């Protein structure tokens, strides 16, 4: 009963061929045909679904392409005169900053035109943005490594240049920095990025710190009551480096502050206000 034999005979019944198949295939032939039909229908549905997604993807690509074309059309309609005016305003501001830096003896960062034909065509916006980004980086570097401002916000009691001897009032001496009055122990801050090249007692300066910056600048901070940095230490703008005191040749608590450029002492007041 497990096998059923099927005989295939020719018209003249001379040739007979037999095939043995499982009896269950005959018994459940309707169910098997139904399952096979269901599988066929399922495969057809999957093919139809995938084809529909393919068509939908093509539609999405077509819409995206249309949006990109619309953006290009919009970009082509930008008012180039307005853009040129905006960049001209940026030029003026950069030149104003540059002139302020030059007044302090700094190297020019933003160069003005040197003649020749003027190009009125606006090129790639990427090129323009890279152009200004480069100049802004140079300006930021210059500002970071140039000693600008007060290391301590106090009253200036003695300026750069010749002055009367503060100890006995007899004779005139050359004062090569600024004296800024402050209370004993008040914090003193670095005015630019740099590295400490001296920290310790130094003759009439008492406890003294010297910091080397970029572009040939150095700063000196004298008469400190305490030094909180060490030789070779990297310094950032605004870091506390010491405390106001009255060590060395001093008549009272104050900070002696010097700015050097290429080995020459220059007037620190040139760098106190940035405008």
pLDDT tens figures, 203-248:
999 999 999 998 899 999 999 999 999 999 999 999 999 999 999 9
**What pLDDT, on a 0 to 100 scale, did the predictor assign at position 141?**
82
pLDDT score of 153 more than 80: yes
Most confident of the ranges 9-18, 51-60, 121-130, 185-194:
185-194
DSSP state of 184: T
**Residue pair 266/259 in contact by the 8 Å Cβ criterion:** yes
**Residue pair 207/226 in contact by the 8 Å Cβ criterion:** yes
Q: Locate the domains of the chain by residue range.
A: 3-74, 80-110+125-144, 156-271
How far apart CA 52 and CA 49 sit, in angstroms, is: 5
**What pLDDT, on a 0 to 100 scale, did the predictor assign at position 167?**
44
How far apart CA 168 and CA 211 sit, in angstroms, is: 32
**What pLDDT, on a 0 to 100 scale, did the predictor assign at position 116?**
39
* pLDDT tens-digit series, residues 93-128: 777 777 766 666 565 555 554 433 444 455 556 666
pLDDT: which is higher, 255 or 44: 255
φ, ψ for residue 137, nearest 5 deg: -65, -40
Residue 58 Cα to chain centre, angstroms: 40
How far apart CA 91 and CA 98 sit, in angstroms, is: 10
Length of the chain: 275
Helix pair 80-103, 125-144: axis angle to 10 deg:
20
pLDDT score of 150 more than 80: yes
**What pLDDT, on a 0 to 100 scale, did the predictor assign at position 168?**
47
Q: Identify the weakest region by mean pLDDT among 15-24, 42-51, 163-172, 225-234.
A: 163-172
Confidence of residue 47 (pLDDT cuts 50, 70, 90): confident
**What pLDDT, on a 0 to 100 scale, did the predictor assign at position 54?**
55
The tokens describing 209, both together, are: 């710190």
* pLDDT tens-digit series, residues 21-43: 666 666 666 666 777 777 877 77
Instruction: Report the topology of domain 156-271.
Output: Glucose Permease (Domain IIA) (2.70.70)
In this prediction the pTM is 0.58
- Rounded to the nearest integer, the mean pLDDT of the chain is 76
Run of H or E residues at 140: helix 125-144
DSSP β-bridge partners for residue 5: 20
């Amino acid at each position: 009963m497990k096998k059923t034999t099927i005989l295939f005979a020719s018209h003249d019944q001379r040739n007979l061929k037999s095939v043995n198949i499982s009896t269950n295939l005959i018994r459940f032939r309707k169910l098997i045909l139904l399952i096979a039909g269901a599988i066929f229908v399922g495969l057809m549905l999957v093919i139809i679904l995938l084809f529909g997604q393919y068509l939908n993807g093509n539609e999405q690509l077509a819409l995206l392409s249309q949006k990109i074309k619309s953006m290009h059309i919009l970009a082509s309609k930008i008012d180039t005169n307005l853009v040129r005016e905006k960049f001209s305003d940026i030029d003026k501001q950069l030149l104003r900053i540059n002139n302020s830096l030059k007044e302090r003896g700094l190297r020019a960062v933003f160069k003005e035109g040197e003649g020749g034909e003027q190009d009125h065509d606006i090129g790639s916006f990427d090129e323009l943005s890279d152009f200004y980004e480069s100049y802004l980086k140079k300006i930021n570097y210059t500002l970071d490594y140039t000693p600008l401002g007060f290391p301590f916000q106090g009253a200036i009691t003695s300026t750069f240049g010749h002055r009367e001897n503060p100890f006995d009032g007899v004779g005139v001496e050359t004062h090569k920095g600024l004296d800024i009055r402050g209370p004993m122990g008040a914090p003193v801050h670095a005015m630019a990025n740099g590295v400490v090249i001296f920290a310790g007692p130094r003759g009439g300066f008492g406890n003294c710190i010297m910091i080397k910056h970029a572009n040939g600048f150095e700063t000196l901070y004298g008469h400190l009551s305490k030094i909180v940095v060490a030789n070779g230490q990297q310094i950032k703008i605004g870091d506390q480096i010491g405390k106001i005191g009255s060590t060395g040749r001093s008549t009272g608590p104050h900070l002696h502050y010097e700015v050097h450029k290429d080995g020459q002492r220059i007037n620190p007041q040139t760098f106190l206000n940035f405008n």
